[in-house]
Chain A
């Protein structure tokens, strides 16, 4: 009864907050319309993320990403279908709860939004996507990574980051490279955590690792000692956690308190500054992964970070750049379709080729990001340090180039070896000269190949 009542109160509070927002927006919307003299269309974009509960910090981060994008779009003053367009954000709170997610989704459908950005969690995104699909409202999530989201056959469902099949595989292969033989897997039983943990398990087993324990917790827990004690008894060398930072941080800390020496590995949910804050020194030296590439390596990354911290006076937690891109992709599609009508601009989303902050965004027929890359990071001195990027189409081509370069190096080496034997067999002076030339040519070939390798790596 207690929980139910609090849900009711939450939705009341959310509605209150929303109406307050609406009041604030109205005078602004009216002001520029009068002098412009042109017809103005208000485009309502729904945004859903947990604004209360244990993941509220991530929800706020997402919303900030959306707010930034919308402000920029409005400042630019787009014209679509001959009318000046004003974007308006309808921010909703789903408290990371699938039931609540469906309720607010229905609310957005009833409000006839033009599109939806979100939700944050896979567990809320998947049930909500059915409602949006039925209403024909396009939905782009910047953070729901569970593969099921786009596999339901909904034409309206898109995401701008790699899914958990790609991430789980990358993490599983990475774990195998860490020199461990046995792993324990913990997940928080959410669609995201469970999905990622399952994919990790498959990949880890395929890479020859042994999963010695599978334990579970939930996305509101603070005490993990009981399951960690069990893991300790299995002597697992690595603990993988599929879940979010609010649980992962304390979990890493409690591992240390129990004297567990195993490494800790997690996905995007724990790849945050918050995780290190909560886990303290227990996180040091461990690894995590994020879809996409680090902001610093992206052309527009540092600029985005600067804009973001300047506006909100806060660090980017996790998905803000992706949510920003999601809004931009939606606006871009409307522009290309020259319509804000969901029916008309939905096909345009599928043909997106948008150079965003996080990637060059193109969708496959399912609505997944094409060639999504996964980057591995290490927690070092309270910062996330970039280690390497795995997967992704551009990287695959770079890898092929590296292989080619290595082959040509091998050929050159053969030539050098051949020249050397030639030197040994013929003691005549002329032959020496000739051999020298061959060696020189070989050396040059090696040098060229090395350059090619370097270029390929840099590209990667």
Chain B
């Protein structure tokens, strides 16, 4: 039983990270119908900027908490600018192009950002500065650390804030209107360009936060770390119903837990025929089954309320 609990905790933490990244995918998709494949790279750059800023401030003698705060703010700001720049340079000129064109541009941007990061930060693994005190807890035989608790709490708070933004503010209303029908929204006085740019900026800020947490959790970073993470988060968004905010969160957490349980129990379930390296298969089988019965994902709707 304690193993089961431990696996749930493992999955919940992993899933919270997926969920935060998935929000970035789903927000952009909800409004523009574009899958921003460069989002994983935004997360990676968020991690690396935090390492550089916080790391050098700590070296310069600044208190760890303050340096950490500065690092996180810097990374959020850099990623917001990056998100805005991506939209402005890579996607806005293609707004009226066929749907495949911006998709290919997105993949291209992902590769460009990866190589840019490789040139700036090098090929080696970087260690994340220890911004949080090491604290271990034990509960009913399951171990967890302070950073894990923080990840789950911050993810939950950020998602809550995002929901408030989308459903309780004027900007949110404009976003929802744009999602429903950009042409009509613009006739009603909504500045479409600003709304779309806002979606990119907010999504990238969430990505930066996710990057900080991934870095803090595993304490390592690498210029290619965003690729797999982005792919998994994209899967989570599809699982939950891409374009739906609540779906992205639940999809992320679900995917994290399925993966952890899959790796933990697949060997026992198949009598050792399939080992733990098939954990990804486990996750994708669930995805395929869900999509077979609900092609728009668990919480996806065919039209309407996407944002």
Contacts and interface: CB of A to CB of B under 8 A. Distances in A.
Given A223-B14, A229-B6, A277 B125 contact: yes
A215 B265 CA distance: 11
Interface residues of A, number: 41
A225 B127 contact: no
Given A54-B222, A56-B123, A249-B220, A220 B228 contact: yes
A214 B10 contact: no
Given A257-B136, A258-B6, A222 B125 contact: no
Given A5-B107, A249-B220, A257-B145, A232 B276 contact: no
Contacts of A246: 125, 222
B224 A226 contact: no
A448 interface: no
B295 interface: no
A234 to B, nearest CB: 10
Q: Chain B: interface residue count, which band?
A: 35 or more
Contact of B143 (A56, A60, A218, A258): A258
Interface stretch (B20-28, B110-118, B247-255, B297-305): B110-118
A230 B3 contact: yes
Contact of A274 (B37, B125, B277): B125
A230 to B, nearest CB: 5
B111 A217 contact: no
B286 to A, nearest CB: 15
Interface in B246-300: 259-264, 267, 275-277, 279
B contact patch SS: helix
A2 B107 contact: yes
A227 B125 contact: no
A257 B125 contact: no
Nearest to A258: B143
B7 interface: yes
B143 A9 contact: no
Contacts of A280: 127, 219
B275 A216 contact: yes
A13 interface: yes
Contact of B10 (A5, A225, A259): A225
B42 to A, nearest CB: 15
Given A52-B118, A57-B125, A230-B276, A250 B220 contact: yes
A104 interface: no
B264 A259 contact: no
A53 B225 CA distance: 9
B124 interface: yes
Interface string B115-150: 100100001110100000000101000010100000
25 contacts: A2-B107, A6-B227, A13-B115, A54-B222, A59-B123, A189-B277, A215-B276, A216-B276, A222-B220, A223-B218, A225-B6, A226-B10, A227-B263, A227-B276, A229-B10, A229-B260, A229-B264, A230-B264, A246-B125, A249-B220, A250-B220, A258-B143, A274-B124, A274-B125, A280-B219
Across chains A and B, which 10 residue pairs bring their CB atoms closest together, nearest first?
A226-B263, A56-B123, A216-B277, A225-B10, A259-B143, A226-B260, A57-B124, A229-B6, A233-B3, A216-B275
Interface of A: 1-2, 5-6, 9, 13, 51-54, 56-57, 59-60, 189, 214-218, 220, 222-223, 225-227, 229-230, 232-233, 246, 249-250, 253, 257-259, 274, 277-278, 280
